[in-house]
Amino acid sequence: MTKLDAKIPEGSLAEKWTKYRSSVSLVNPANKRNLEVVIVGSGLAGASAAASLAELGYKVKVFCFQDSPRRAHSIAAQGGINAAKNYQNDGDSTFRLFYDTIKGGDYRAREANVHRLAEVSGNIIDQCVAQGVPFAREYGGLLSNRSFGGTQVQRTFYAAGQTGQQLLLGAYSALQRQVGMGNVELFTRHEMLDVVMVDGKARGIIARDLVSGELERHFGHAVLLCTGGYGNVFYLSTNAMGSNVTAAWKAHKKGAFFANPCYTQIHPTCIPVSGDHQSKLTLMSESLRNDGRIWVPKKKDDPRKASEIPEDERDYYLERRYPAFGNLVPRDIASRAAKERCDAGYGVGTSKMAVYLDFAAAIIRYGKAEANKRNIHHVSDEEIQLMGKEVVKEKYGNLFDMYKQITGEDPYELPMRIYPAVHYTMGGLWVDYNLMTTVPGLYALGEANFSDHGANRLGASALMQGLADGYFVIPYTIGAYLASEIRTPALSTDSEVFVNAEKAVKDQIDQLMNIRGTKSVDYFHKKLGLIMWDKCGMARNEAGLKMAIAEIQELRKEFWSNVRIPGEANNLNPELEKAGRVADFLELGELMCKDALERQESCGGHFREEYQTEDGEALRDDEKFAYVAAWEFQGESKFELHKEELKFENIKIAQRSYK
């Protein structure tokens, strides 16, 4: 077994990053100009890394499959971004953010990385404000905060329900500034299809120009994958249609270990599936749980409308089960609780696979507060309603509009119907403290890596991690590697390794095009999604996972013999793009099941039915499973498990309780 070296710096937890930064190797400005960095993906991690590295003087190339870097799916993040600023004077601190994140992750994350994340969280807010990101503010002109799940302080910064959009546009602006200055070369509508390896190091990529269909070779002294998560393995998820695992999976097949693939976040509040036509699911931000109360009827199969069910016949099950955190328990817990109620027959709506998220109480509460603020006495119920709705609209207006568009129902009048959906993947490429994968020169940032969220990510922490990695971590840690690469000249892309790598990619494309079967790519993707959702979704068990592995292998065979890709490979061909991505999902899905099978405990987003407490809570096994599972690819269906032991030196590891 390879020994995984996480390269965690010596010293006390709070000093590690400071000491590291002051002692890491530097690259002088003249040398930076000759060092080329390839960045794949232009979301929060990719755009912020590209801008920051270009500012430092490196030669940067950025690739994205969309028509503009601004489309990356970070744009869709709604609720907010955490930072330990303690502007609210409510007891927040770097340590508390660190602690909440480790605990929220069910004690399956690496302490040193998470502490660093908490340390730089405040700098992110400063940087974004300086860029002109219009965060929500109070009347005094200072920044506003709200609460998110799994915490008892208000540390979430936000811009209405469009925080991801505003942060990404900030990073995109910084990136475009460097593009304009000629420091970054931008390749839109390009998809990375392989990593090029020279003497065991990552030295570039093969990318396909999606418009012309041509394959291109690009050299880099280092390659950064900022390519997001793999939630679309489930077909239905809150991810964008194009979100995929291809870059990470190709890297995996070139030697990068894949860590904790079974850790998937199922988000509790999404709009339920409406039919077989469904192409994606839409999130209703966790911030709604600040004000919305989740409930189901106390009576099974209650046929009444929500408004006809009196207060004492409603079961506010999160408030009942978890009085300390109530509706703001972490996502994994809220999701499982919703599934439990629906499975037990208390679900609502036509499918009975939904619960209510109700704003009626919040509307009245805000209406009364508003009347007081405006000094209006003898106010009627209607006026309170009206003023309350105005406040709710200001906080969540875009989300309510979206809900109405999709369902045709007005959430100001009726409670929302919601159900959990796949949202985020905590697993990803294994990286060390430097964010380098097990392949030298190949880095993974943001959701594409596994490092900070353990088995469950807390709300408003994905934006924090993406930007931390890109703005404040990689600019330092990449020096540790590139300082020793200053004598490596840029390799000609006419060299044999590049030619061979391109040929391998072309062969796979030809193979796909030549199948000429009868079923569309979506047919296979939907089938894979169902297997994953049923057997490797919110609850897993040994028999189901074994069955899933067999089914996926079978489906993969069928895909490679019967998929139909129309058109040609030498021009824009979205079906060919999808086919390549689904081919990779069909391999990843198997590894996810394998990892879930191996982890004989329940933790965070990974819930094994065999391992639960009497009252249905996740039952961890710290003696046997306090490790990161890092899988090495060894050929089709063959993966070797390597373990990185997790040491908790600064936190007392305990059964997670939100009661």
Partner 1 sequence: MEGNLNLTLKIWRQKNAQTAGKFETYQVSGISEDMSFLEMIDVLNNRLIEEGDDPVAFDHDCREGICGMCSMYINGRPHGPNKGVTTCQLHMRSFSDGQTITIEPWRAEAFPVIKDLVVNRSAFDRIIAAGGFISVNTGNAQDANSLPIPKDDADEAFAAAACIGCGACVAACKNASAMLFTSAKISQLALLPQGQAERSKRAEAMVAQMDEEGFGACSNTGACEAECPKGISIENIARMNREYFSSVFTSK
Smallest distance, Å, CB 179 to partner 1? 5
Beta carbons within 8 Å of 115's beta carbon, 6+ residues apart: 13, 14, 16, 17, 94, 98, 650
Smallest distance, Å, CB 399 to partner 1? 10
What is the per-residue burial (b if ≥16 Cβ within 10 Å, else e) of 543-572? ebbeebbebbbebbebbeeebebeeebeee
Residue spans of alpha helices (H) in 132-184: 163-180
Cβ atoms of 196 and 38 within 8 Å: the answer is no
Selected catalytic residue, list 331, 336, 417, 620: 331
Pairing of strands 639-645, 264-270: unpaired
Smallest distance, Å, CB 410 to partner 1? 14
Residue (186 or 329) nearer to partner 1, CB: 186
Q: Is 271 left (phi over 0), alpha (psi -120 to 50) or beta?
A: beta
Cβ atoms of 466 and 74 within 8 Å: the answer is yes
**Has 331 been annotated as catalytic?**
yes
Smallest distance, Å, CB 187 to partner 1? 11
Beta carbons within 8 Å of 571's beta carbon, 6+ residues apart: 211, 212, 213
Of the candidates 536, 528, 631, the residue with the CA atom closest to the CA atom of residue 579: 528
Residue (4 or 133) nearer to partner 1, CB: 133
Residue (351 or 495) nearer to partner 1, CB: 351
Beta carbons within 8 Å of 477's beta carbon, 6+ residues apart: 24, 433, 434, 435, 436
What are the E-state strand segments in 405-492?
416-425, 428-429, 442-444
Beta carbons within 8 Å of 634's beta carbon, 6+ residues apart: 640
Of the candidates 161, 164, 187, the residue with the CA atom closest to the CA atom of residue 175: 187
Residue (255 or 349) nearer to partner 1, CB: 349
Q: Coil, strand, or helix at residue 215?
A: strand
Residue (396 or 631) nearer to partner 1, CB: 396
How far CA 18 is from CA of 21, 29, 385, in Å, comes to 5, 22, 52
Give strand pairing partners of 191.
Answer: 208
Q: Which helix (H) or strand (E) holds 364?
A: helix 360-373
Pull the structure tokens for residue 459. 């709300």
Alpha carbon of residue 230 to chain centroid = 8
DSSP letters for 2-66: PPP---PPSS-HHHHHHHHHHHS----HHHHTT-EEEEE--SHHHHHHHHHHHHHT-EEEEE-SS
Spatial separation of the C-alpha atoms in residues 476 and 9, rounded to whole Å: 14
Cβ atoms of 193 and 208 within 8 Å: the answer is yes
DSSP letters for 270-316: EPPP-STT-----B--GGGGGT-EEEEESSTT--S-GGGS-GGGEE-
Residue (174 or 548) nearer to partner 1, CB: 174
Residue (215 or 467) nearer to partner 1, CB: 467
Smallest distance, Å, CB 72 to partner 1? 8
Smallest distance, Å, CB 280 to partner 1? 5
Positions marked catalytic: 331
